[in-house]
């Protein structure tokens, strides 16, 4: 059975109190839209994305992500059914899975189970539902003799019996032919004047469903929910890192963004921040209180200690920077030692420049390296030295002072 993937990303998100379109809000360094599109890509090479409010900004994000997508614009915000209606001409396969850009925590295994159930059951609609402690804000699943007979949106709840704890996540699989037949029959809601996609279940008895975990069902409509989603995704990312061999004495005190690569058998101490675009090799040590920014690569056995910040920096095998340093746009050779308080001054007010430190070099405490500059293999800088730009230190040479100069060898006879 073939499927197209439809991602609804037209919402404004008024309750977010943000000028940023809701699909572009970030958790763990990734936009909500990116997370959902990555999920979609596990099932299909291309997704259909419906845009609305803030569409130009969302287009820029789609361009940045470089995903294969078909963009459809919902010019008026007339509800989820209308969003699917405008996308319907682009659905070419016999089934469609509808995802929402503000429901970013659905797991790949859950989506696969939904598709499997839809295929096996032959249903017109297969819904993804969840039992939640607090169902406020969600559409409620209404059952009769254990069979789903309706979904009632929060704004449309009239009777106490409709206030149930089984909610509809918004994610569902539909037969395309069924949507083509039913969508023109839907009427706008009495209260909001919108067309709800949930109303299609009233037009069929061929309904199936799959349950997911409560955390997967989290929809993001306000800042508090965004923060909760980030916390839940953090738990997953830390668990994945530990499965790969990362050892964390206090995982809840480590912040890891989406897309960090960890090879395993490394130690990550408390109070570290590890941004996306970082790669940590086997046997590395990180922290405590380290900040690894985009472009940081820690090669096997290297160590970054307390209050060290790195950005676009490669630490060679068994290289060490253990204390209070900033290493920006740097390449540090194997077994080099970076003393406490070292600063790679990479920005001159106009452009960023690179610092290269050779193998087994020793950079003294409090050294300032003004890029672009190169410290040769086995070279030494004295404590407090300031090595000015383009004043490279030769291999094996020792420099001291401000500005740093080569240390003259004593000619006194003994």
In the chain, the number of structural domains is 2
Q: What is the pLDDT of residue 413?
A: 54
Percent of the chain having pLDDT more than 70?
97
Helix, strand, coil percent content, the chain, rounded in steps of 5: 25, 30, 45
Q: What is the pLDDT of residue 16?
A: 85
DSSP string, 393-405: BPTT-EEETTTTE
Q: What is the pLDDT of residue 144?
A: 86
Let me know if residue 316 belongs to a domain.
Answer: yes
My answer on whether 321 and 290 are in the same domain is yes
Q: What is the pLDDT of residue 157?
A: 73
Q: What is the pLDDT of residue 242?
A: 96
My answer on whether 180 and 268 are in the same domain is no
Q: Where is the domain boundary, 195, 221, 247?
A: 221
Let me know if residue 134 belongs to a domain.
Answer: yes
My answer on whether 350 and 371 are in the same domain is yes
Strands ordered across the beta sheet of 320-323: 267-268, 285-286, 303-306, 320-323, 337-338, 362-363, 380-381, 398-400, 405-406
Q: What is the pLDDT of residue 152?
A: 87
Let me know if residue 340 belongs to a domain.
Answer: yes
Q: Are 166 and 130 in contact (CB under 8 A)?
A: yes
Q: What is the pLDDT of residue 43?
A: 87
Distance between CA atoms of residues 78 and 42, nearest Å: 30
Which helix (H) or strand (E) segment holds residue 118: the answer is helix 108-121
Which helix (H) or strand (E) segment holds residue 224: the answer is helix 223-243
Q: Are 131 and 215 in contact (CB under 8 A)?
A: no
> What is the mean predicted confidence (pLDDT) over 50-54?
93
Q: What is the pLDDT of residue 153?
A: 80
If DSSP states are collapsed to H, E and C, what string results for 61-72?
HHHHHCCCEEEE
Collapsed DSSP state (helix, strand, coil) of residue 371: coil
Let me know if residue 413 belongs to a domain.
Answer: no
For residue range 96-124, what is the model confidence (pLDDT) as tens digits? 999 999 999 999 999 999 999 999 999 99
Name the residue with higher pLDDT: 149 or 339. Answer: 339
Q: Where is the domain boundary, 176, 198, 221?
A: 221
My answer on whether 251 and 214 are in the same domain is no
Residue 187 has pLDDT above 60, yes or no: yes
Strand 69-73 to 47-51 pairing: parallel
Residue 260 burial (CB < 10 Å; 0-12/13-18/19+)? buried
Residue 276 has pLDDT above 90, yes or no: yes
My answer on whether 203 and 259 are in the same domain is no
Q: Where is the domain boundary, 158, 188, 221?
A: 221
Q: What is the pLDDT of residue 161?
A: 53
Q: For residue 102, what is the DSSP state?
A: T
Average pLDDT, the chain: 94
**How many CA atoms does the CB half-sphere of 124 hold within 13 Å?**
17
Let me know if residue 282 belongs to a domain.
Answer: yes
Residue 3 has pLDDT above 80, yes or no: yes
Strand 30-31 to 26-27 pairing: antiparallel
Strand 147-152 to 139-144 pairing: antiparallel
Q: In 3D, which of 250, 233, 305, 284 has the Cα closest to residue 29?
A: 233
Q: What is the pLDDT of residue 252?
A: 97
Burial 292-302 (b: 16+ CB within 10 A, else e): bbebbbbbbbb
Q: Are 156 and 190 in contact (CB under 8 A)?
A: yes
Q: Residue 120 is encoded by which pair of tokens?
A: 């096996």
Q: What is the pLDDT of residue 306?
A: 97
Q: Residue 47 is encoded by which pair of tokens?
A: 């997704």
My answer on whether 298 and 384 are in the same domain is yes
Q: In 3D, which of 8, 21, 32, 16 has the Cα closest to residue 225?
A: 16
Active site members: 323
Q: In 3D, which of 272, 263, 345 has the Cα closest to residue 308?
A: 272
My answer on whether 238 and 315 are in the same domain is yes
Q: What is the CATH number of the domain that holds 107?
A: 3.90.550.10
Let me know if residue 350 belongs to a domain.
Answer: yes
Residue 159 has pLDDT above 90, yes or no: no
Let me know if residue 411 belongs to a domain.
Answer: no
Q: What is the pLDDT of residue 24?
A: 96
Residue range of the domain that includes 169? 3-221
My answer on whether 256 and 153 are in the same domain is no
Residue 412 has pLDDT above 60, yes or no: no
Q: What is the pLDDT of residue 317?
A: 98
Q: What is the CATH number of the domain that holds 262?
A: 2.160.10.10
Tell me phi and psi for residue 174, to 5 degrees. -130, 145
- Least confident stretch, 136-145, 242-251, 399-408: 136-145
Percent of the chain having pLDDT more than 90?
83
Q: For the chain, what is the radius of gyration of the CA atoms?
A: 28
Q: Are 205 and 199 in contact (CB under 8 A)?
A: no
My answer on whether 24 and 170 are in the same domain is yes
My answer on whether 211 and 260 are in the same domain is no
Q: Residue 393 is encoded by which pair of tokens?
A: 């230190």
My answer on whether 180 and 267 are in the same domain is no
Q: Are 411 and 392 in contact (CB under 8 A)?
A: no
Residue 410 has pLDDT above 60, yes or no: no
My answer on whether 212 and 261 are in the same domain is no
Q: How far is CA 37 from CA 68, 82, 92, 230, 239, in A?
A: 10, 21, 19, 17, 22
The answer to whether the predicted template modeling score (pTM) of the entire model surpasses 0.85 is: yes
Q: What is the pLDDT of residue 162?
A: 53
């Amino acid at each position: 059975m073939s499927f197209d993937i439809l991602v609804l990303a037209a919402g404004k998100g008024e309750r977010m109190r943000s000028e940023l379109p809701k699909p572009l809000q970030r958790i763990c360094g990734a936009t909500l839209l990116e997370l959902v599109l990555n999920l979609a890509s596990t099932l299909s090479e291309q997704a259909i994305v419906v845009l609305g409010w803030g569409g130009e900004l969302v287009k820029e994000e789609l361009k940045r992500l470089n995903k294969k997508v078909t963009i459809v614009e919902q010019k008026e915000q007339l509800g989820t059914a209308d969003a699917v209606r405008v996308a319907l001409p682009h659905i070419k396969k016999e089934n469609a899975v509808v995802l929402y850009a503000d429901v970013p925590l659905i797991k790949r295994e859950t989506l696969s189970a939904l598709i499997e159930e839809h295929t096996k059951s032959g249903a017109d609609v297969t819904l993804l539902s969840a039992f939640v402690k607090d169902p406020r804000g969600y559409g409620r699943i209404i059952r009769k003799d254990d069979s789903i007979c309706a979904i009632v949106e929060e704004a449309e709840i009239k009777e106490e019996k409709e206030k149930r704890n089984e909610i509809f996540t918004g994610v569902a699989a539909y037969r395309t032919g069924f949507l083509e037949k039913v969508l023109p029959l839907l009427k706008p809601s009495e209260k909001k004047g919108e067309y709800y996609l949930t109303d299609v279940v009233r037009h069929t008895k061929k309904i199936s469903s799959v349950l997911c975990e409560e955390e997967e069902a989290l929809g993001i409509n306000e800042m508090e929910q965004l923060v909760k989603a980030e916390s839940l995704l953090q738990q997953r990312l830390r668990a994945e890192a530990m499965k790969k061999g990362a050892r964390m004495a206090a995982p809840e005190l480590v912040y890891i963004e989406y897309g960090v690569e960890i090879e395993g058998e490394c130690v990550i101490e408390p109070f570290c921040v590890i941004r996306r675009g970082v790669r940590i090799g086997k046997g590395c040590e990180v922290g405590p209180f380290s900040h690894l920014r985009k472009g940081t690569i820690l090669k096997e056995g290297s160590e970054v200690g307390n209050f060290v910040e790195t950005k676009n920096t490669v630490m060679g095998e068994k290289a060490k920077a253990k204390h209070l340093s900033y290493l920006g746009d740097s390449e540090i050779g194997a077994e080099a030692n970076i003393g406490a308080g070292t600063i790679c001054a990479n920005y001159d007010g106009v452009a960023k420049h690179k610092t290269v430190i050779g193998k087994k070099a020793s950079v003294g405490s409090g050294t300032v390296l003004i890029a672009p500059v190169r410290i040769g293999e086995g070279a030494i800088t004295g404590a407090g030295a300031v090595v000015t730009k383009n004043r490279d230190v030769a291999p094996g040479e020792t420099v001291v002072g401000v500005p740093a100069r080569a240390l003259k060898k004593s000619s006194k006879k003994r």
